[in-house]
Amino acid sequence: MKDVRVKDVTEKLEAWAPLSLAEAWDNPGLTVGNPESLITGVVTSLDITPQVVDRAKEVGANFIVSHHPYIFKGMKQITLTTAHGRLIADLLKHDISIYAMHTNLDIVSGGLNDEAVKRLGLENTDVLDKTGQEDFVKLRVFVPELEADKVRQAIGNAGAGAIGNYSHCSFSVTGTGRFLPLRGAHPAIGQVEILTNVREEEISVVVPRPVLSKVVKEMLAVHPYETPAYEVVSLDVPHKAYGLGRIGSFAQALSFDDFKERVQEAFPQAHLRLGGHKCQCIQRIALCTGGGAEFIDKAASLGADAYITGDVKYHDMQRAKELGLLVVDAGHFGTEEMAAKLLAGKIKEALGQLGRPDIEVEAFSEQRDFFF
């Protein structure tokens, strides 16, 4: 059976949702643990809590992937006198690693906000608050024909050729490569001081810039040549914006009651509180999973009839009323508990690609809102 380490899975997750997508204040990634540990099982959750850690121990899992990072700011002590310190000590004692996908999961295409869009059935969606834009380069690499598939597979697994809902996209042409190995060279094909001709494929792939160094590293690792020939070209094409929250529309306007029902179906664990401006014709919807009250003005300025988020305070609702915007506070937990399932699905996919679909992945769903 193939060994799968923590770092093998986190590399796959980051090829999809790079840490560089996250907000500057955030702290996603491996928080506690050992990237070299062999994975025995995985549990996913919204938060890292003693209950989740106990569940991991119960099912023999040594890797927990959560949405919220367990450590956010600098810690001055880790001691057994605090609940925080005891939990970290417990994780280390049992060789359990914890890893967070936070604002990178909110922002990435197909991440948490897009999951909310899907559940609500919104169409023609766009980003609500732009945090950056996609940046692609083109990688061209020259490979002997017989080794081309191996290189294509390796760079595809590292995130090259990821375009929209497609991965491993590439284009190839065949031709003749020529080189003269000089004294001191150790050519994989041909001999020193003899001009060599080889049937080669030129593989072209579009690469998201955040994964470029990883893609090049993986390409170099499997490329048979001592000195592979490759080039990286910047692409001057319109780039898609990425960011937090989404705005889109229902195919048909809904009444207040039907809208409320739709939101409850989309977020079954949520205790809904509706406020601001009550309207009866609701079609254009903005949303931000988690606590997104700061985008109330933005949602109104982009013409939303209603805005769905969590952690909405009294004065936020007052502001929404002034702006003529209906606001649904579906709770922080209510809008994000789906993260556990989403993460479990992505990890199962990664384990399948790594040749270990047998490793158990459990979405921990026992956890409930802190509110009664």
Residues contributing to the site for Zn ion (CB under 5 A)? 290, 336
Nearer to Zn ion, 8 or 336 (CB): 336
In the complex, minimum distance from the CB of residue 46 to Zn ion, in angstroms, rounded to a whole number: 8
In the complex, minimum distance from the CB of residue 127 to Zn ion, in angstroms, rounded to a whole number: 18
How would you list the strands of the sheet with 282-291, edge to edge?
123-133, 241-254, 282-291, 306-310, 326-329, 273-276
Nearer to Zn ion, 201 or 336 (CB): 336
Nearer to Zn ion, 129 or 218 (CB): 129
CB atoms within 10 A of CB 259: 25
In the complex, minimum distance from the CB of residue 146 to Zn ion, in angstroms, rounded to a whole number: 49
Nearer to Zn ion, 46 or 347 (CB): 46
Which run of H or of E encompasses 173?
Answer: strand 171-179
In the complex, minimum distance from the CB of residue 333 to Zn ion, in angstroms, rounded to a whole number: 9
Q: Cβ neighbours of residue 194 under 8 Å, at least 6 residues apart?
A: 180, 181
> For tokens 């509110």, what's the residue?
371
> For tokens 């006198």, what's the residue?
81
Output the six-digit token pair for 185. Answer: 């060279």
Closest to 254 in 3D by CA, of 274, 282, 275: 282
Are the beta carbons of 37 and 62 closer than 8 angstroms? yes
Nearer to Zn ion, 200 or 336 (CB): 336
In the complex, minimum distance from the CB of residue 74 to Zn ion, in angstroms, rounded to a whole number: 20
DSSP strand E in 28-121: where?
29-32, 42-45, 63-66, 97-100
In the complex, minimum distance from the CB of residue 68 to Zn ion, in angstroms, rounded to a whole number: 6
- The sign of the dihedral angle between the CA atoms of 36, 39, 40, 41 is positive
Nearer to Zn ion, 62 or 289 (CB): 289
Rounded CA-CA distance 303/194 in Å is: 69
In the complex, minimum distance from the CB of residue 369 to Zn ion, in angstroms, rounded to a whole number: 12
> Nearest residue by C-beta to Zn ion?
290
Nearer to Zn ion, 18 or 290 (CB): 290
Count how many residues are written for the chain: 372
